[in-house]
């Protein structure tokens, strides 16, 4: 299987805006684009391969026959695609919500739970989000505050800015506030329990469902520090990088590339590349095919690459990338370089 770009599934939730279309090139027939599922095998919204022999297939369809090897050794005993990656445009506040862990979700929803990570792509001047409880409360107080619509008063209200990172473990109550644009890396799950939704109604005038009993079951009501640690960047030749999150479900790095970065997609895991700013290209050094699915002649590579010499790349391919592109690299893709001035989130399992 070759590396390829993905076309996202989109969601027109009532709190969304138009920034994903206008700034990230996300295509949708809906006037509102609240979420773009940039890497997804989820039945609620699957990403689609955009070019090459597999073009038009969903990511899940393409992986089905080769899932044991393209996902990598870290997923060798699973036929379940582990992660889902989104862009989220919160023009209005999202609901106050919580996600279950694996045990609860499998028992009650027959799906996996949801631990997630947020990288703030942009935020209005006075933007904020809710993240955990500012003091420990009991389940009884939690229920009472839900019933009296006063839950917000005991939550951490955290000001946010571009580049902030939040790790939201399953069971942590949270909400994205209006004026925030986020890249979210999460477990492959769409299970959400709402506890407060600002009395909003849908297009038919109905209030959206709350899930109070289940939220009471799964929410951790302990104190949570409101301000997470800032990422620590390390300078490498041609770029700088920071580890944003690492857990049993995913590992995420941010690469801020000034000229080039040489990386490897080994046999342990597939690699997701989500380009969040700038433009450039990817040169695959150890592959004989790229997103077009055909062998590229070394002379073509040499002509299209100012930096690379044909003696270095004898077989390979080049994929041009811009802000808003999402790429899937099968496990074992090997060495590749990202050249240009761009910013990318790199995720592996």
For the annotated catalytic residues, the residue numbers are 194
d(CA 4, CA 53): 10
Strands (E), 54-211: 83-90, 96-98, 116-123, 128-133, 155-159, 165-168, 174-175, 180-187, 193-196
114/128 Cα distance (integer angstroms): 22
CA distance readout (Å), 143 to 48, 213, 342: 41, 9, 46
DSSP string over 15-44: T-BSHHHHHH----SSS-B-EEEEE---TT
The phi and psi torsions of 300 (rounded to 5 degrees) equal: -65, -40
Q: Supply the DSSP symbol for 30.
A: S
CB 62 within 8 A of CB 43: no
User: How many other CB atoms sit within 10 Å of the CB of residue 297?
Assistant: 12
CA 246 to chain centre: 14
Q: Which of 15, 19, 7, 41 minimizes the C-alpha distance to 270?
A: 41
Q: Residue 268 to residues 65, 181, 247, 332: CA-CA distances in angstroms? A: 18, 31, 15, 8
């Amino acid at each position: 299987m070759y590396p390829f770009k993905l076309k996202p599934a989109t969601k027109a939730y009532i709190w969304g805006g138009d920034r994903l279309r206008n700034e990230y090139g996300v295509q949708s027939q809906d006037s509102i684009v609240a979420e773009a599922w940039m890497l997804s095998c989820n039945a609620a919204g699957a990403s689609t391969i955009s070019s090459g022999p597999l073009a038009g297939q969903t990511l899940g369809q393409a992986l089905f026959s080769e899932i044991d090897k393209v996902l990598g050794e870290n997923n060798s005993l699973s036929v379940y695609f582990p992660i889902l990656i989104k862009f989220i445009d919160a023009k209005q506040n999202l609901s106050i919500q919580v996600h279950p862990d694996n045990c609860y979700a499998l028992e009650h929803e027959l799906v996996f739970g949801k631990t997630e990570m947020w990288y703030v792509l942009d935020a209005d001047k006075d933007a904020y989000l809710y993240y955990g409880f500012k003091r420990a409360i009991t389940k009884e107080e939690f229920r009472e505050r839900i019933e009296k619509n006063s839950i917000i008063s005991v939550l951490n209200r955290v000001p946010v800015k571009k580049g902030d990172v939040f790790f939201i473990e399953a069971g942590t109550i949270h909400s994205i506030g209006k004026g925030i644009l986020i890249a979210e890396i999460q477990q492959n799950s769409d299970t959400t329990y709402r506890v407060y939704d600002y009395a909003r109604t849908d297009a038919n005038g109905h209030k959206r469902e709350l899930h109070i009993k289940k939220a009471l079951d799964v929410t951790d009501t302990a104190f949570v520090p409101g301000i997470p640690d800032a990422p620590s960047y390390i300078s490498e030749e041609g770029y700088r990088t920071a580890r944003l999150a690492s857990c049993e479900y995913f590992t995420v790095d941010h690469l801020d590339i000034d000229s080039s970065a040489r990386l490897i997609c080994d046999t342990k895991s597939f690699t997701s590349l989500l380009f969040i700013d700038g433009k450039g290209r990817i040169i695959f050094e150890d592959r004989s095919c790229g997103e077009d699915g055909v062998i590229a002649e070394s002379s073509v590579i040499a002509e299209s690459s100012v930096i690379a010499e044909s003696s270095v790349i004898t077989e390979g391919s080049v994929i041009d990338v811009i802000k808003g592109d999402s790429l899937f690299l099968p496990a074992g893709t090997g060495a590749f370089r990202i050249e240009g001035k761009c910013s990318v989130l790199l995720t592996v399992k």
